[in-house]
Structure formats: C-alpha cells, structure tokens
C-alpha cells in the first residue's frame, strides 16, 4: 500500500470514517483509531487475512506485477487483528528476503501494525507473545 506499507486487516474499517485523509499521515500510524469508533468497536469476532496469492513488492494502488506474487495458499485467522496483521507482515518480509536475497524492508514501513499495539492497545504485534498454530502443509510457510 502506498501509504501504509500493506493494506490488510487494520485498514479494512477505513470506510467507517468520514475523514479518511486524517488517517494517512506518518505512514498511516493511527489506523488503529478506526477500531475504536463506536460503530466498529467490539463488533469484529474473527479476523481472516487472505494470503492465497499475495503481492509482496510494489507501491501504489495501480501497481501490480504478477512477478511479485506467489501461491502462498494461506489464511491467517485469529481474534486479534494486530496479531494477524503482524504474522502477515512477517510472511511478506520473509518472502521479500527469499526473492531478493537480502532484507528489503517495506517502504513505507507497516509501522501502523506495531503502533496498533504500543500506541493504541488494540492487540499484540510482538511475535514472542503471539501463539501461532499451523494447520496444513508446512513447506514454504516462510515463518
């Protein structure tokens, strides 16, 4: 995503605000505010991040290059949207490293996910605190 690094669960509720531009400064640092809106807070029971064939490189709403997608065939599911997005970003970062042969951080960084934890207390982004249960095949799971 051109402003937030990734467009994933935390960004889904942007349609519930009348002031979308206010959430885009500083790499969308305060996207988690969406989850505290009265018409949103407490309404989501399960978060599903679809990673069937994710795009791992590219910026901008009109950018797409099939070369930068892969058949991951995964669903990341959890009660905590921050944890789910955090796992998704870890997978994307691992794919970028495997593809490019070096660490290439997302640009812009997906810092809104970590700020949803540390600034907004929406959930947990710390990989050490996330219980990751894997189902299905493990080959090429990347994390």
Q: pLDDT of 13-32, one tens digit each?
A: 888 888 887 877 777 788 88
- Amino acid 20: pLDDT: 82
**H helices present in 5-74, as ranges:** 25-28
Contacts of 41 (CB under 8 A, 6+ apart): 35
What does the alpha-carbon distance between residue 112 and residue 91 come to, in Å, rounded to a whole number? 17
What pLDDT was estimated at residue 1? 56
What is the value of pTM for the model shown?
0.89
Q: Residue 76: beta bridge partners?
A: 49
Give me the residue label for tokens 């905590």.
Answer: 80
Q: Element (H or E) spanning 73, and its range?
A: none
Mean pLDDT of the chain: 88
What pLDDT digit, counting tens, does each position of 61-118 carry?
A: 677 889 999 999 999 999 999 999 999 999 999 999 999 999 998 888 889 899 999 9
Per residue in 64-80, pLDDT (tens digit) is 889 999 999 999 999 99
- Could you tell me the two tokens for 123? 């959930």
């Amino acid at each position: 995503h051109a402003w937030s690094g990734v467009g994933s669960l935390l960004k889904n509720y942007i349609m519930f605000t009348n002031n979308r531009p206010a959430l885009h400064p500083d790499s969308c640092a305060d996207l988690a505010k969406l989850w505290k809106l009265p018409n949103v807070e407490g309404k989501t029971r399960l978060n599903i991040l679809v990673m069937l064939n994710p795009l791992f490189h590219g910026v901008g709403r009109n950018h797409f290059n099939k070369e930068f997608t892969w058949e991951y065939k995964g669903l990341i599911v959890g009660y905590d949207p921050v944890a789910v997005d955090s796992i998704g970003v870890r997978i994307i970062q691992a794919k970028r490293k495997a593809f490019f042969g070096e660490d290439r951080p997302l640009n812009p960084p997906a810092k809104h996910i970590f700020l949803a934890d540390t600034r907004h207390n929406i959930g947990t982004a710390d990989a050490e605190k996330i219980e990751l249960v894997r189902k299905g095949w493990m080959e090429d799971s990347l994390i």
